Every structure is written in C-alpha cells, then in structure tokens.
Structure 1
Amino acid sequence: MAIQYELPIRDHFEGSHGVMHTDRQFDLGFAAEKPQAELGMDVMEKLDDIMAVLEKPDTSVELIVHPGYVDASLERVSSLQKDRAYMAEFLMHSDFADRIREDDAINLISYAELEE
C-alpha cells in the first residue's frame, strides 16, 4: 500500500524495501513520563544527542511522539493520558522545542515533503 500511494513507512517493518524511510527515528516517549520541570539530566543528555543528529546535513529524522489533551473520549480509549498531555507541553514549550524552532539547520517537514 505504501508503494501504491507513494507513502513512507517506518524502517522496522519487515519487507519494507523500496519504500521511503527517514534515516533515523527517535521515540520521545521518555520526555513525556513526567512534567517538563521534573525531567532529569539523563533526559537532557538524550535530547542533546538527538539534537546533534537533527543538525546533521542531509539527514531525515522522525521524532515519534503522541501528544494530546485529556478529555472524556481519550480517557475511554487510551492509557497514555498524562503522557500525552506532558508530550504536548514538551513539544510546545520546552527548551528542546525552542532549539528545534530556532535552528536554521533543521527543517520541519511532513512525510509528503520527504525526499528519496
């Protein structure tokens, strides 16, 4: 289906050859385990490592995130309630988010803009 619709998929699916992928993927779930103010130095070091990869020229990176706000419909279907709210806050208001927005070497794109 990805080939038919010319859509990229994550690289860890077996048999996904011939389909566009990002060069790297990072799951930022570790940054949503608690409020931003409570994140420790280990998290900051991981984010610094990710930032170094993001700044590499000609490298595409997927940041895997699950942001959201908790409402009644989310409470019924998801166990990631606080994590989603923490992730939304992190993606909008963290130093890491500011660094990404301000870094001219980083271009935020959609999958539609991913080049082979």
Structure 2
Amino acid sequence: MSLFHRDRFDTALSQLPGVTFVDQWDARVAKVGGKVFCLLTDYEPRCIVFKCSEESFDILTSLSGVTQARYFAKRKWASAEAGSELGEDDLLAYVTRSHALVAEGLTRKLRAELGIL
C-alpha cells in the first residue's frame, strides 16, 4: 500500500516519536510538538507535503510531479504527487527528515518529553 493512502500514511508516520494527527485544511496533517511536518491532501491529485532543506528543495522540484507546496509561503516545503518520479522509499526518507527538521526547532524539554533525542 502507498503512503498516499491514509492508513499507510498514519501507520508509517506514527512510527516517528511524538507524532500526532489532525484533520484540517482538507488534509491529514502530521505534527510533532504541535508543529506541522507533513500532510496528505484529501483532494485529487493526492499530494504529500513536507519540509526539506534548501538543497533538497532544488533537487526535489526538478523531478516530475514534485513542486513547491501550495499555500506554504516559504521555499523549503515540497509537494509530491502520487505517481511522481520520487520513489516510495525516498519519499518516506524525506518525510522522516522533515520530522527531524521540525523537531529541531522544539525546545530541548519538549523534545525530551516526546522521546526525541
């Protein structure tokens, strides 16, 4: 099953420490410490939106089916459509990195409470 299916999305991302889910913005939103790190759109085409480094952003957006995320004002947020050139394993790796990037911005105390080293 693909990450673009809600059950797989929830199962894969719930393995990361401190993750919670909410339904908002016509999407399934994954948060760590109350901050968004990834979302799966409910509308077509299905997209997974995630935070990435500036270098990764340039690489990712050169792939077919990967663009700057709509409604995210800053670069460093990519949107991958189902069927994009980005493979499933690579997409999961970027989502995991997104979790780490957002978690880095949390306080040391909150990271400890969430089990994030």
Same fold at TM > 0.5: no
Higher helix share: 1
Relative to the length of structure 2, the TM-score reads 0.25
Considering only CA atoms, is the larger Rg found in Structure 1 or Structure 2?
A: 1
Of structures 1 and 2, the one with the larger relative CO (CA 8 A, separation 6+) is 1
Higher-strand-fraction structure: 2
The alignment's TM-score, normalised by the length of structure 1, stands at 0.25
